[in-house]
Structure 1
Amino acid sequence: MTAPFRFPRFFVTTPSACPYLPGRTERKVFTELTGPDAGELNDALGRIGFRRSQGVAYRPSCLDCSACVSVRVLAAEFVPSTTQKRLIKRNADLEVSVCRPWSTEEQFELLRNYLSARHPEGGMADMDDLDYADMVELSPVDSYVVEYREPTVEGRAGRLVGACLIDRQGDGLSLIYSFFDASEGARPGLGTYIILDHIKRASAADLPHVYLGYWVAGSKRMEYKVRFRPMERLGPTGWRRLRDEEVAVSLAGVGELGAPHVKKI
């Protein structure tokens, strides 16, 4: 009897500065996603906390910290808050289209402006158009780009104001990377709206989860993720619901959840 796919080989990166918590280092374990079983492998790894970047699946494997926690929204149970309902109504005029994973100049220009406004010192700040094309097009799994445009006027397509690279997995949608118009005077809450739209899409497709990547308690950059509850977090015993008190500790500061501790493997 043969296995459905060959067991992958895993590698570990050299430790580097953590982008989320000052004074700490990060390390990742990763494997390649290749061959006809890449989608099945990506699904299996996604359920144990891995993320995809091009043809690689990775997850944190830090020596002295386990602050990065995989989180996923329970799409069928999600009910938008009053603020989120207003945001959905405000952006109801946007024209949304699902596109094949193919990069465009318009997408890249929007990405560059987004990075300049929101993450000027981030690791993606130096991306060129070829780097972006690789990010979108080098996918060995079922991926697509969702575009958000202002309304069509006199037959001319509206301006692109948001985009999101998505993987469709067996149990949900995985948001790989989203970006939007973050300039002064732009529509507020576009990033939140993109997530809300994908929760709705997952629910309509009978997919139970929307994977939002890693949540880091105490990191200001990650606070937005806990606004989409109910959600589950991945721990040593598997997935469980994120509790209100965990969120309260995070919003109050790093606290005990952000404190480094030895990870048990």
Structure 2
Amino acid sequence: MRHTLPLAPQFYVTAPQPCPYLAGRMERKLFTALQGEQAEQLNDALSKQGFRRSQNVLYRPSCADCAACLSARIDVSQFEPTRSQRRTLRRNAGLTRRATSPWATEEQYDLFREYLDSRHATGGMADMDMFEFAAMVEETPIRTRVIEYREEAERTAHLRAVSLTDILDDGVSMVYSFFAPEMSNRSPGTYMILDHVRIARELGLPYVYLGYWVPGSPKMGYKAGFSGLEVHRGGRWERVTRPEAYRAETHPLSVEPIAEQVARITLPGVRPVR
């Protein structure tokens, strides 16, 4: 009987392009393919090291002269809602949650288009058609759910918000979320995060992964408002106690060379080299 060793994932770097979060800076990503029998284990392992999933790719910011993007998660055991967040829960108490398989529908796409046209009309996803939306939702080799939030009105449950969510071995990861623009005054984005804290507790999982927090970026500042927040920095997770103490790291020497970054990545089933 022949025994073969699993192929180690190969890591690549994207070409620099304008940063969508901080003006005047260039972004670059370190990425690898997410595929094969070990996809779930690889996703679990790299999520703990600051990577995010987009379809069948795992990526992490690796800019040449900036380290502002910080992978963020909530430790649900340390989370307590603020007064404002409790108001958000009350304002959205009429929403019902339903988790489905990762299968795109026209109803979801229509809501997605309304969201983009209202809030991100010039963003990188602005031109996504139904087929590209379906790929975003359905091309996943791991445990992924589409979590729909509906509101009862005149016998019809209207779709009001959606989160594409991965189930990890230590938490839930909010890959992408969107909502009806007219709900903005009810803070539906915050509500979905609060509800994912409840989901993690229901599943007995310790973390809610939020993507990247970028200190100094108005688009991402809301993530600092959640207690129990942790960020991945310097190869480890650390608790954020004073968000105002974090600043965008822009000195070229604040970023390790790509080869050193890759060498420090721990892969599933491989003992890390110290």
SS at the partner of 1:258? Answer: coil
Residue 176 of structure 1 corresponds to which residue in structure 2?
A: 175
2:160 maps to amino acid:
V
Do structure 1's residue 26 and structure 2's residue 24 form an aligned pair? no
Q: How many residues align?
A: 253
Residue 206 of structure 2 corresponds to which residue in structure 1?
A: 208
Distance 1:122 1:240, change over 3 A: same
- Between the aligned partners of 1:126 and 1:92, the Cα distance in structure 2 is 33
Residue 253 of structure 1 corresponds to which residue in structure 2?
A: none
Q: Please report how far the alpha carbon of residue 153 of structure 1 lies from its aligned counterpart in structure 2 after TM superposition.
A: 3.8
User: Which of residues 181, 194, 197 in structure 2 aligns to 1:196?
Assistant: 194
2:58 maps to amino acid:
A
- Between the aligned partners of 1:20 and 1:186, the Cα distance in structure 2 is 21
Q: Please report how far the alpha carbon of residue 230 of structure 1 lies from its aligned counterpart in structure 2 after TM superposition.
A: 1.2
1:127 maps to amino acid:
M
Do structure 1's residue 258 and structure 2's residue 248 form an aligned pair? yes
Question: Which aligned pairs between 1:40-59 and structure 2 lie closer than 5 A?
Answer: 40-59=41-60
Q: Please report how far the alpha carbon of residue 117 of structure 1 lies from its aligned counterpart in structure 2 after TM superposition.
A: 1.1
Residue 97 of structure 1 corresponds to which residue in structure 2?
A: 98
Residue 272 of structure 2 corresponds to which residue in structure 1?
A: none
Q: Please report how far the alpha carbon of residue 248 of structure 1 lies from its aligned counterpart in structure 2 after TM superposition.
A: 2.1
Whether the 8 Å contact between 2:77 and 2:228 is mirrored in structure 1 is no
Q: RMSD of the alignment, in Å?
A: 1.6
- Between the aligned partners of 1:100 and 1:6, the Cα distance in structure 2 is 29
- Between the aligned partners of 1:37 and 1:153, the Cα distance in structure 2 is 47
Residue 15 of structure 1 corresponds to which residue in structure 2?
A: 16
Q: Please report the TM-score for the alignment, with normalisation by the length of structure 2.
A: 0.88
Q: Please report how far the alpha carbon of residue 243 of structure 1 lies from its aligned counterpart in structure 2 after TM superposition.
A: 2.3
Residue 248 of structure 1 corresponds to which residue in structure 2?
A: 244
Q: Please report how far the alpha carbon of residue 106 of structure 1 lies from its aligned counterpart in structure 2 after TM superposition.
A: 0.7
Structure 2 spans left out of the alignment, 5+ residues = 261-274
Q: For residues 209-262 of structure 1, what are the alpha-carbon distances to aligned partners after superposition, in whole Å with 9 as ceiling and x for unaligned?
A: 100011111000001111112111111141110121xx1256xxxxxx124123
- Between the aligned partners of 2:69 and 2:113, the Cα distance in structure 1 is 26
SS at the partner of 2:148? Answer: strand
- Between the aligned partners of 1:141 and 1:186, the Cα distance in structure 2 is 31
2:168 maps to amino acid:
Q
Q: Please report the TM-score for the alignment, with normalisation by the length of structure 1.
A: 0.91
